């Protein structure tokens, strides 16, 4: 599915959601949805705010962004993550299931896919709970920080030997 096709489809899903829940179909809401589906990867409210002001030339208040994102989450078109300080979001329609690798040192988030893992999670029997979605966060040290640490440690030892 190409990008425009996805945008049209999510627009339709959102319209149905708004209708079903008696919400109004405002231009702000569609502009926000469109912008979000132009973003690859994660974003936070501030980034979205700037993106809309700069590129789409459509100014919406932060309050509206927060309000609309809640609707989009309920409509299953956006998912919310909470690594780092501010909440991060990402589009969820037509995206491959993926997991997150987070470096505890530099905070860098990397996505990866693993079908076995995905299958294992989805096949897990949950008692008295109807699953909607899930997030797996794997914490550790990325190779870049690992290298930096080794270098640092080496320097420290050399200093001590002096």
Question: Under rule CB under 8 A, how many of the chain's residues touch a copy of itself?
Answer: 32
- Report the C-alpha gap between 4 and 10 in whole angstroms: 10
- Residue 53: name its binding partner from a copy of itself, DNA, none (Cβ under 5 to 8 Å by kind): none
Q: Give the C-alpha separation, 52 to 39, whole Å.
A: 11
In sequence order, which residues have a C-beta less than 8 Å from that of residue 94 and are 6 or more positions away? Answer: 1, 6, 9, 10
Q: Is residue 22 part of the contact set for a copy of itself (CB under 8 A)?
A: no
CB 101 within 8 A of CB 138: yes
In the bound state with DNA, the residue whose beta carbon lies nearer, of 46 and 122, is 46
Cβ 76 to DNA shortest distance, Å: 17
Give the residue, chosen from 120, 151, 154, 155, that forms a contact with a copy of itself under the rule CB under 8 A.
120
CB of 45 within 8 A of CB of 66?
yes
Supply the minimum distance, in Å, between the C-beta of residue 5 and a copy of itself. 27
Per CB under 8 A, residues contacting a copy of itself are: 82-83, 101, 103-104, 110, 112, 114, 116-117, 120-121, 124, 126-143, 146
């Amino acid at each position: 599915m190409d990008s425009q096709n996805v945008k049209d489809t999510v627009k339709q899903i959102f319209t149905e959601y708004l209708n079903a829940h008696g919400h109004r179909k405002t231009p702000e809401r569609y502009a926000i949805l469109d912008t979000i589906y132009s973003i690859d990867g994660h974003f936070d409210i501030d980034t979205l705010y700037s993106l809309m002001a700069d590129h789409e030339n459509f100014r919406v208040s932060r309050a509206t962004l927060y309000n609309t994102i809640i609707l989009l989450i309920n409509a299953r078109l956006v998912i919310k993550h909470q690594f780092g300080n501010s909440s991060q979001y990402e589009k969820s329609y037509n995206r491959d299931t993926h997991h997150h690798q987070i470096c505890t040192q530099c905070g860098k988030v990397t996505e990866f896919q693993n079908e076995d893992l995905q299958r294992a999670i989805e096949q897990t029997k949950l008692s008295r709970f109807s699953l909607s979605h899930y997030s797996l966060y794997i914490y550790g040290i990325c190779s870049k920080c690992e290298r930096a640490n080794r270098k640092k440690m080496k320097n420290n030892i050399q200093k001590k030997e002096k």
